[in-house]
Structure 1
């Protein structure tokens, strides 16, 4: 009965024998299957024990020897291989995380309807750990009502279904349906695995996050800007996606890769950011304004480059105020029950200035941190105090920006609706 890739008894170690988190990487039959090799490499190199379970169609794109060599485990597609190990039950039972990348429309349909006609779909039925699907298909297939309903079913059951990226598809087609960057998929998997039984507690929620720093043009080559890298806002977007939310990221002048499962709206100026945030906030459950938005912009824009004149001082640059997007959102609340979170970057009297800003802006939460040339901006770490409208203060010690991001979402959750 055993197939050509049947594992020996020693190929399937007992639970916990390796001492590593156990990940099942399911691969379905799409052209993006080759990208899963990079995801597999990142998982194994970061200390995860990965078992690859492809569909028969997936092996038409990437062969079993490749998966076996990269994972260190034998590869099979059917339940008839190594029957004495009961693989269709054991693989899912022993997993700490199951991730399917790419997940085709066919695979999503089978998973939503509980079909179990091969090893991967059987594994999905027996898994009691977090499950992540990374869909990849043509835009028309992704947007079809059948696929959308299948995705909704999986999300209601607690699975994390990542939104596809927008970009080049098979052939000359371009649109939404592209598998996200493997490095970003890895970050989602790492976050989901770290949360464990906590699960996708933001499932069914739409959140809007702003990130980066706006730039106000002075002439065609110069602008007024700030040092914000966007890393904290991107951490907020990544953690929200890993917790199951639909995320819109309004990104101002960043040089960071798009987070997996996040709809990214690029902007440049404060006025562009305001328009994008207000447009996205109409149906949002929460809006987190992490971007460094310029308070002022030049009153006049020079159509040509401003020239330096010998012996003459430059003309003063007149400034005008930009709209206060955070105060506007807090006052108008585009959706009833919406939670608004602001950020306050201070250089002195940090908490006193933060408390005054919270009162003035009218938001629900305000993340206050001390900034400087070598502090916070561009760093992978952050330290802050989250002030709430009810007077409570939550200190977040120095550490990774994603830790602060998780604290923010932990404080947002009980305030939703």
Structure 2
């Protein structure tokens, strides 16, 4: 950082107010590129003679030294500009408070549903009918909230108990499947069957040793044992009165591939039940983003790219295209560079403005618990590019996404 007099500033110069403190200036961010003369007038009204600027992140250089000292030769509107910006900042702080409250509600709701999902999965096969009824109730709650919902958010959880991994995965796959089902215009009844089947799709894995489940590579006998979770799943739900064929078919067919290369029956194309095709996509996506070993995790964009370019033959092409469109240009969980040089994480999509999601912003001067949330529809910023976390400083990644899972939830389920 270098120092520059206020009177030499112009739009495009990247400045830092970190030394002043976020609460002591009227701007939304501590660091940003100057966008207009109004911001310069506000800086002058703050009584600053000079300010820090970053040449590397600037798109314009400061103005040359003036030949004569700066003197106002017209009416000074800087005080009004400063007052207006302070008022705007107060309004944005109120919106930020409401956004935080909404995310907190969703997080509490997600935790409750994850606990319920864990209890449901543990109910098979011993209490199959009761567990299935509870699963149907949970799926109905999510479907009811999903109808009319307009956004999807992620929660970044620092620690989770290992024995809960299956429940969190089941809940993620259910939510992602329902989002895709809604995009495909499924009926309410279909959505409810989809939700139950997605929740129970891996119920048979309770019979598979964790060593085999977590293995990055398996011997042929181990792979055969792993694939047996399909049969174990069908056995687990066999005693559930009222379970629908469509729900059982999701358990039976969510590893079938569009090109016939899947298991257990090597079904292909339209032979694979429609709801199972949906769950296959959601299941693969969550497994790529949330593997057992975190260092193998793909970013959302990387996961979608692998599914589309490398594994596209495995999935119903129409459904895969709809899934990619549903998650947006920058899926929740994507690290991004913003036009002001800042780094953020996509927290929530805006379906009516896919290029302008809700961003959690990295700012070393603000505690993570109070991290800034920016709705890009409301600020003069845009995403320049997505970035791999491997290319970011460790402190940035840990601030935005502490080591843990990406968990997906929709706005409607928190109401």
Structure with greater proportional helix content: 2
When Rg is computed on C-alpha atoms for both structures, the one with the higher figure is: 2
Higher RCO structure (Cα 8 Å, ≥6 apart): 2
With the length of structure 1 as denominator, give the TM-score of the two structures: 0.28
With the length of structure 2 as denominator, give the TM-score of the two structures: 0.29
Structure with greater proportional strand content: 1
